[in-house]
Amino acid sequence: MSRDAGRRPELIDAVLGPAGPQLTCDACFERLDRYVELELAGHDADAMVPGMRSHLIGCPACGEDHASLRALLRADCEDASPARPAR
């Protein structure tokens, strides 16, 4: 018999991150554009849109939206070639 009662759920903390604002699906949807843009631009999207990541992990519907928007914007980015050659 082993007793784990004294152990803290560190793994859960690691997955969910520090306690922060809980996003609703509406709030998540409103910020998804911005979040993905930040991600693709190489910014720390998680820090700039707090609560988003834990919502995406916990909410399969929004997680799917995130994945498809990301694929869409990434294709868009490549199409527009942001890195223009110097004149």
Footprint of Zn ion (CB under 5 A): 25, 28, 59, 62
Distance CA 19, CA 1 (A): 33
Residue 21 Cβ, how far from Zn ion at the closest point, in Å?
14
Residue 32 Cβ, how far from Zn ion at the closest point, in Å?
10
- Which residue number, 38 or 62, has a Cβ lying nearer to Zn ion? 62
Distance CA 23, CA 29 (A): 9
Name the residue type at position 75: A
Residue 73 Cβ, how far from Zn ion at the closest point, in Å?
19
Distance CA 68, CA 47 (A): 22
- Which residue number, 28 or 49, has a Cβ lying nearer to Zn ion? 28
- Which residue number, 21 or 41, has a Cβ lying nearer to Zn ion? 21
Pair 37, 73: CB distance under 8 Å: yes
